[in-house]
Structure 1
């Protein structure tokens, strides 16, 4: 199934457990292979991602795309590592 990648922007993403992760803000594309390799997610659920920071979700984790995006897997909690 082909879809215009711009149609993914703004869609809500849900974890495999049914929790809302956030909204797609950008789509990462490998221009050499012309494939989507990740979804940049903003306004993340701070119950899933520490401080609600933005995350890049590998596209291979996507189970289904429709009115929303459903993931095959997502960590129970994503911690933010300190860069100090």
Structure 2
């Protein structure tokens, strides 16, 4: 069991199918609720996340936390919206 929120940094995140999604690089906090809102994931798997872009995952999607993070669910593919510069 984790004792500190900082222990989540650099943990690998896996989908419900056991596929590596990426690595936790930051934690998104909800200061109003004083809780973790989500995780900011970098070095993402390009087979699951378009262009291997960084993404955020809602904390409610997490099934288990230990040496890895296992998700309850994850989309088969995450498309990254285009920015104004790309249009």
TM-score tier (shorter):
over 0.9
Match of 2:65 in 1: 65
Match of 2:23 in 1: 23
Please report the RMSD computed on the Cα atoms of aligned residues, expressed in angstroms: 1.2
For the pair shown, which has the larger CA radius of gyration, 1 or 2? 2
How much has 1:5 moved relative to structure 2?
1.0
Structure 1: stretches of 5+ with no match in the other structure: none
Confirm or deny that 1:55 pairs with 2:55.
yes
User: SS where residue 60 of structure 1 aligns?
Assistant: helix
Deviates more, 1:74-83 or 1:43-52: 74-83
Partners of 1:11 and 1:2 lie apart in 2 by 12
1:39-72 CA distance string (max 9 Å, x none): 0000000000000000000000000000000000
Structure 2: stretches of 5+ with no match in the other structure: none
Aligned length: 84
Partners of 1:81 and 1:58 lie apart in 2 by 18
Match of 2:11 in 1: 11
